[in-house]
Structure 1
Amino acid sequence: PEAAVASKPAVVENCATTIEANDQMQYNADSITVPASCTSFTINLKHTGTMGANVMGHNVVVAAQSDMEGIDQDGAGVTPDHVKADDARVIAHTKVIGGGESTSVTFDPAKIKAGGPYKFFCSFPGHMTLMQGSIQVQ
């Protein structure tokens, strides 16, 4: 029998969601479903850990799954947010935050309606493998 994949959908209310990230390199959600009625959507990111942004910083980047590797590689070491400036592949991204901090980004869901699949992920070097999830409009 196939192993059950633990799914942790983000709670979405009023065209927004809050995702938590921690010192164990984990988000508390692995999928975000944006209601089709939303004309803008906000992802709030809360770092529940205690480590600094320079050691265990987290952000949220929204992009096509096929663009993740390139965005991650090109942004590695580009401080402070580990996203290359004006990277056209990036649909939206927050700044990198450390323990106890919060940030948010708002974007137009129309940008993730066609094509895809789309993902959200952390572009802090080495984090993408563990910190990613799907995002779609439904």
Structure 2
Amino acid sequence: MHKIFITLALAATAAIAAPAMAADNCATTIEANDMMQFNVKHVDVPKACKNFAITLKHVGKMPKAAMGHNVVVSNTADVTAVATDGAKAGPAADYVKANDARVLAHTKVIGSGESATVQLDVSKLKADGKYSYFCSFPGHFSVMQGTLALK
């Protein structure tokens, strides 16, 4: 009986510690709040996936104009430049420069209670690549970031 409890405890611990992934392993959900935080700091994308769905949920209370959030995926080295160009593109462009080749995927900007999903083409990722996801709403990218890796 003791071995059963230990096994169950270890399985529960592994489930809690695992990176954010849905049961099908080709999707994840990231929550954003009014404190400019994502609830997930790292996402593993399985190599077996053709596309990987990223759903962003705004769990805060503030509207899009005041505290909007999006998710933008790029090479880690490009984050600052993509966010800077996105701020210049403005809210009508969801703070993402049009046709920016550095952007691998992005959601629209959402506000309180809203959600948005984007499909990331997994063939754009390399096993040894360094990728990040971030919010490109002006002033947010420096604190609203996470890492993404092909596994």
TM-score by length of 2: 0.82
Counterpart of 2:119 (choices 103, 106, 113) is 106
**Structure 2: how far apart are the matches of 1:96 and 1:42?**
16
Where is the helix percentage greater, Structure 1 or Structure 2? 2
- Length, aligned pairs only: 132
SS in 2 for 1:67: helix
Larger Rg: 2
Structure 1 residue 66 corresponds to structure 2 residue 77: yes
**Identity in percent:** 53
**Contact 1:8–1:29 (8 Å) recurs in 2:** no
The residue type paired with residue 73 of structure 1 is: T
Q: Which position in structure 2 is the counterpart of 1:44? A: 55
Amino acid at match of 1:44: T
Instruction: Report if the CA contact (8 A) 1:8-1:28 is conserved.
Output: no
1:75 counterpart = 2:86 = yes
SS class of match (2:91): coil
Q: Quick check: 111-120 or 48-57, which moved more? A: 111-120
What SS does structure 2 have at the residue aligned with 1:41?
Answer: strand
Of 95, 99, 105 in structure 2, the residue corresponding to residue 86 of structure 1 is 99
The answer to whether the 8 Å contact 1:12/1:33 transfers is: no
1:97 alignment partner in structure 2: 110
Matched residue, 2:19: 9
Instruction: Tell me by how many angstroms 1:108 deviates.
Output: 1.1
Alignment of 1:124-135 (within 5 A): 124-135=137-148
Tell me the distance in 2 between the aligned counterparts of 1:68 and 1:115: 17
Q: Which amino acid aligns with 1:11?
A: M
TM-score normalised to structure 1 length: 0.90
Where do 4+ consecutive residues of structure 1 move more than 6 Å?
none
The letter of the residue matching 2:99 is D
The whole-number CA distance in structure 1 between the counterparts of 2:127 and 2:150 is 9
Which deviates the most, 76-85 or 28-37? Answer: 76-85
Post-superposition shift, 1:115?
A: 5.5
Distance 1:90 1:113 in 2: 15
Q: In structure 2, how many angstroms separate the alpha carbons of the residues matched to 1:123 and 1:11?
A: 23
Offset at residue 130 of structure 1 (A): 1.1
Structure 1 residue 24 and structure 2 residue 24: aligned?
no
* Amino acid in structure 2 at the alignment position of 1:91: L
Contact 2:63 2:112 in 1 (8 A): yes
